Amino acid sequence: MYARILFGASAIFFGVVSLIWHDSDMWQRLLPLHAFGPIVAWCLVIAQIAGGIAMMLPRTARPASIVLGAIYGLYVLGAISSIIAAPAEPGGYINCFEQLAIVCGALAVYAASETDAARAIVFGRAARLGLGVCAVSFAWAQVVYLQYTASLVPAWIPPNPVFLTNLTTIAFALAALAMLINRQARLAMRLLAVMIVLFGVLVWVPQIAAHPAMLANWSEISENYLIAAAAWLVADLPSSVESNRV
C-alpha cells in the first residue's frame, strides 16, 4: 500500500512540476513526439496527475496503472527516438531505462490486481526482468558519468564521493544480477528501493535546499522516488519471484 501511495504521489509531483516548468524533463522527453502537438503534451501532464491521484486509491489503482504505464511508455518511445537519432549519446539510453523502470512499477500494480493467476505471474515476471535490465543501465550510467555522479554526493559522507559512487554502482550491478537470474530477487529489489530513497534524501533534498528555484532538481527528485516506488512495488509482488527461489 505504501509503495503504491509513494508511486502515485511522485507521479502527481512530477506532473505538477511539468505544469509549472515547460523546460522540465517531461517536456524534453516529449520533443521527439511533438508531431502530435502541444495539446497532447498538456493532456499527458493532466492525465499523469489524475493517474497519480487514482493510484493512491485502492479501487482505482488498476485503471491508474494502465494510464501511468501508457504515459511513461510514451516517454520510453520518445527516448528510443532520441537513441535512433543519436546512437552514440548515452543520455538517450539512460532516459529510456529510467522511464522503463517506472513502467515496470505500473505493471506491478496491474499484476497485483490481476484475477487470473497465470497472467499475474507473467506480468510479475516481466516487471522483475524489466527492472533488472534497468538496474544494469543504472550501473552503466554511473560508470559513464562517474565524475558527475560523484559531484552530487555530499562531501561530508565518508570516506569520499568517488568511493561511494563506485559502491553504489556495484550495488546496482548486483541487484540487476539478482533480478535477472532470480536469486534473492525480492531482497535485491527492496535494498534497491532503499538505496534510491536514500539518494533522494542525501542528494536531491540538499540540492533543492541549496537551489530551490532550480526546477530541474524538483523534477529529478520526483523521478527518483517514482523509480524507488517502482522497485518497491515489484518487490512486494509475489508473482514476480518464483516461490522456490526467494
Q: Angle at CA 213, nearest 5°, toward 209 and 218? A: 70
Q: Which residues contact 64 (CB under 8 A, 6 or more apart)?
A: 8, 51, 52, 53, 54, 55, 57, 109
Of the ranges 75-89, 136-150, 188-202, which one carries the lowest mean pLDDT score?
75-89
Indicate whether 240 pLDDT > 60: yes
Kindly state the average pLDDT of the residues 119-147.
95
Residue pLDDT, tens place only, 183-211: 999 999 999 999 999 999 999 999 999 98
Indicate whether 23 pLDDT > 60: no
Residue 159 is classified by DSSP as S
Torsion-angle region of 182 (φ positive above 0: left; ψ -120 to 50: alpha; else: beta): left
Residue pointed to by grid coordinates 518497491: 232
Kindly state the average pLDDT of the residues 50-63.
95
pLDDT of residue 241: 61
pLDDT of residue 244: 42
Report the percentage of the chain scoring pLDDT > 70.
89
Q: Where are the domains of the chain?
A: 2-245
